[in-house]
Amino acid sequence: MIQSEKSSSDQLKKSPKCFYSPVSRQIRGFIFKLGFCFFNSVAIAAKQLQQKLSVTKILIVDWDVHHGNGTQEIFYNDPSVLYISLHRYDNGNFFPGSGGPTEVGSGAGEGFNVNVAWTGGLEPPMGDAEYLAAFRTVVMPIAREFSPDVVLVSSGFDAAEGHPAPLGGYKVTAKCFGFLTRQLMVLAGGRVVLALEGGHDLTAICDASEACVSALLGVEDPFPEEVLLQKPNDNAVLSLQRVLQIQSESLSLSPGSDCNYGKSRWCRFV
């Protein structure tokens, strides 16, 4: 399976591709402890890319509704891997309880761990408008500055509409997941890998997977203008403001650069 993360023995293809694997990121290290599966394939793939293909900058985007505490722990001190997680947090009251916005990395990795930690429960639940706002104000601006060589997506779909409250209760549509995939494809020359992870509603998983694969294949499915212009709910705005405030105080995302992105850098995104 890890071999399929490689395009060849000496380089990565420039075309986007999709790699599905039934795994979990809620594991400490590379083997099971907190999650529901035995191996963290995205973390293993990232290490393989570093060690076998000498990839220097890897972006991991994790949109599973649960925080990927294992992935975070593995790369917490690593400035060559930018980990961005969007997950239900509720001030630490939603499983696994980790992934607060103040967890920004440590040592050389400070500033390379970003938690879009949604708080406010399900009143109302987060949906398309909130995830679009997160990508517009946090994910894509930081990802562009980082300028990754490869993008790996922990593509759990338990934030998709159709999941009951104990399993997430969010309302992100399949079309939105496809749109987010297309957003990521502007990075790294289109070198984007999606790994199927969480999800408990078969219809939701199938619909979201189809939308993402279609995006990777270049199939255009425009989002309605009214959805793109919809304002995120108040809880989402507060969550995003908290992330921006904390990240604005972190170090530069460019290893070896003397650029320091202070509060003024974020003015145009707030």
Has residue 223 got a pLDDT over 80?
Answer: yes
Please give the Cα distance from 241 to 223 (Å, whole number). 25
Mean pLDDT of all residues in 227-242:
96
pTM greater than the 0.75 cutoff: yes
* The predicted structure's pLDDT at residue 39: 81
Nearest CA among 267, 218, 229 for reference residue 245: 267
pLDDT digits (tens, 9 = 90+) for 84-138: 999 999 999 999 989 999 999 999 999 999 999 999 999 999 999 999 999 999 9
Distances (CA, A) of 48 to 44, 71, 73, 143: 6, 14, 17, 21
Q: What percent of the chain has pLDDT over 70?
A: 79
Helix residue spans in 21-159 (DSSP H): 41-52, 69-75, 128-134, 140-146
Domains of the chain, with CATH numbers? 20-266 (3.40.800.20)
Q: Left, alpha or beta for 169 (phi > 0: left; psi -120 to 50: alpha)?
A: left
